[in-house]
Structures are given as C-alpha cells and as structure tokens.
Amino acid sequence: MPYYPDGSPYVYDDLWPELVNVGWLDDSHPYRRGDVPVELVDGLLRLAADPVNVTRGVHTCPFCGGSYLTVENPHAASGSTLLGSAEIHVRGAGGGGFAAPTLMIHYVLDHGYAPPPPFQRAVLRGSGRGGGAPPGRR
C-alpha cells in the first residue's frame, strides 16, 4: 500500500477534491501513537461497513505482515469486515474531508496508531460518505 503522510492531499477523487489522507502508514515512517476512545473504533467500523473505492486486491499490513485481516463489525450485515481492500471517507468540520484505508482500523486496534485529532473528531461526528455525501455521489 502506498505511504501518504497524514494530512497530505488525497488526489484520487476529483468529485470530492478537498480530501486529505489519514492512516496510509508504512513501516519506514514513524506514526502517531496513543489511546483512542472506543467510540472512535465504533465509528470507524460503522464507516467501514459502507466503504468506498473497494479494490480487488487486499493490502498486507506493513507492520505484522497480516493479510486478509478481518474485524468483527456489528455494523456490517455479515458481522465482520475485511480490512485492506477499501477506503473510508469522512467529512471534516470545514467542508473538506478525510480518506483513509480500512486497514487503518487494524493499525488502531493492533499497532497503537492514534489518528490525527481532526480526523477523530470527524469520525465521532459521524458524517461519512453514506450520510453526508456530496451531491450526486456516495
């Protein structure tokens, strides 16, 4: 999976151009660590149950080598979500938004990743693409 610094511009969505990257980690760049509220994980799972940009391949975790990682997800119809094959997009406070790989949930749960506070607030506010999508797109 490509590495993008947290907060760098996300360039793959010209319909929602003000997205910034969060959670595109790799094992050669340090990342922000810390505890996160359980509500953040729940919010991420809710967003991951309705992902965007689903790909055919599955990305491998750069830290533990895990692939085809799944996580129990009460928000998903199947009860679990495969990580590493899609993105979650969530609106920020100022009209922009954030684009993160679903594998980020694994980074948070198993590798101590603490996403940037503006992203955490956006997830907790809970306006993902499913609920707050720009006109004509979800």
Contact residues for Zn ion (CB under 5 A)?
A: 61, 63-64, 66
Q: Based on CB atoms, which residue is closest to Zn ion, 10 or 113?
A: 113
Q: Based on CB atoms, which residue is closest to Zn ion, 3 or 124?
A: 3
User: In the β-sheet with 87-91, what is the strand arrangement from edge to edge?
Assistant: 19-21, 97-101, 87-91
Cα–Cα dist 47/57, whole Å: 20
Q: Least distance to Zn ion from the beta carbon of 133, Å?
A: 30
Q: Least distance to Zn ion from the beta carbon of 91, Å?
A: 28
Q: Based on CB atoms, which residue is closest to Zn ion, 61 or 71?
A: 61
If one counts every other C-beta atom within 10 angstroms of the C-beta of residue 45, the result is 20
Quote the DSSP letter at residue 52: B
Q: Least distance to Zn ion from the beta carbon of 111, Å?
A: 6
> What does the radius of gyration of the chain's CA atoms come to, in whole angstroms?
14
